Structure 1
């Protein structure tokens, strides 16, 4: 499947961030406030266009999930880009609500697709086990876990989850979608203020994957489950009712990685292929 930009159009990359608390996720929904809906409406207004130009995003975030390093693209008519491109960033700042910001607007290189050209997405999940709860100034971005957490045990349990696996046990299934992913990093660090941050990086994520992984590993950290339990859940390949999907407000999309410009189209095409594990039968 080709991803050539239609003649007469320019593909534009947008780098953005948002506080997800008041959004019903990224994707447009009728009668619900979403990041995509706000951005497309703002673009329509500032370019004085009668048409809505649809955005494609690197990673669709759920309701309540935040983003610091989200990436999207939009294909705009050449004449519209020529007229508004230089002033688009400042005009969007004046039109967008305060909980979503665009930081960079630029013509994308050949082959760029915000979703399919990405080679990894990096999320952070933040939690505190302080007996007094969460700092009120951080309450919208940090989960309170009311059991003491053993970060070393959580890191030990995380190692069994790294690599390419079928993460069906940690994903909400979607019709026709694969649950095979390559988990490149999963690590936990406690900072000087007692905030425990999970860094989770993969080539892509299936629905609820990060929040399910975090939920399982918190059970290891607080001693309710042994270190080998998350790996056993993964190997079983089915949803385990003991794996809780933690609340969304502790999760932030921090960064999206892309290959060198001369590899963008190749990655774009490669990422569209349905994945199977080595030795697995097709279809």
Structure 2
């Protein structure tokens, strides 16, 4: 599979953010529900006065209700369309898009760039408060209220047993033909001076529901309902565990996507398409992020 751009076209990198509250996730749906991808593609078609819908490829397809501050996508436009609209594209998109989605940058991407497959990591934040009075009303759409006191030190101790390359099948919603092997690079909790506890979760990629499931397991440890060793034992079982709670999406934000140096983009894209296996496990085709 090649990342070569069709002759006469130019690949643009788009940096964007959105409030996920009123979106049914990133990806377009046949049901016609409102999605981030659908909204941006419609706006792009309108402002460029095109009869063609230019499809976006995204770094991470967020679920319904999940927010993004540092999302990245790419789109291939005909060179003449880009030449005509490049100077005013951002301003015109800002005038056409709803206020809960913004594109901050649109620039020609370096050779070999693929928003999804060239990425080397995605960093999410999940925000929760255990304040007995609940969530600040001004933050209620971005912070989960947990009505038990949370022990951040215990959650960090539990998180240490999950970092590294593992099969995260116990924390993922399985998709046919997709691997659940991921490298969890960072999972750390920190309580801020405002009392909000933020989980920083970084991995090369995430499978469906992985972050929200990991957070759910950590909260059970933090409030004393499960021992520190429990999340690692669940991971080791290798199968989806019904006792792992998938927390609500509104506390989750995609904060940043990392890419390698320009000269390594194409190689990273090829590597990411290979199905991953752990030592001693069987291989196969397909992939997932």
- Shorter-chain TM range is over 0.9
1:129 and 1:259 map into 2 onto residues whose CA distance is 38
Kindly state the Cα deviation for residue 216 of structure 1 after the two structures are TM-superposed: 0.3
Kindly state the Cα deviation for residue 239 of structure 1 after the two structures are TM-superposed: 1.1
- Hey, which bits of structure 1, 4+ residues long, moved more than 6 A? none
Residues 82-231 of structure 1 mapped to structure 2, 5 A cutoff: 82-231=83-232
Gaps of 5+ in 1: none
Kindly state the Cα deviation for residue 279 of structure 1 after the two structures are TM-superposed: 2.1
What's the TM-score once normalised by structure 2's chain length? Answer: 0.97
Kindly state the Cα deviation for residue 277 of structure 1 after the two structures are TM-superposed: 0.5
Deviations 1:31-73 (CA, angstroms, capped at 9, x unpaired): 2000000000000000000010000000000000000000000
1:41 paired with 2:29, answer no
SS at match of 2:84: helix
What's the TM-score once normalised by structure 1's chain length? Answer: 0.99
Partner of 1:15: 15
Partner of 1:2: 2
2:12 and 2:106 in contact (8 A); partners too: yes
Gaps of 5+ in 2: 285-289
2:156 and 2:163 map into 1 onto residues whose CA distance is 11
2:237 and 2:280 map into 1 onto residues whose CA distance is 17
1:269 and 1:31 map into 2 onto residues whose CA distance is 33
Partner of 2:79: 78
Kindly state the Cα deviation for residue 241 of structure 1 after the two structures are TM-superposed: 1.1
Aligned length: 283
2:59 and 2:115 in contact (8 A); partners too: yes
Deviations 1:181-214 (CA, angstroms, capped at 9, x unpaired): 0000000000001000000000000000000000
Q: How large is the Cα RMSD of the aligned pairs?
A: 0.5
1:63 paired with 2:70, answer no
1:84 and 1:194 map into 2 onto residues whose CA distance is 46
Deviations 1:206-234 (CA, angstroms, capped at 9, x unpaired): 00000000000000000000000000000
Kindly state the Cα deviation for residue 281 of structure 1 after the two structures are TM-superposed: 2.3
Higher mean C-alpha deviation, range 80-89 or range 13-22: 80-89
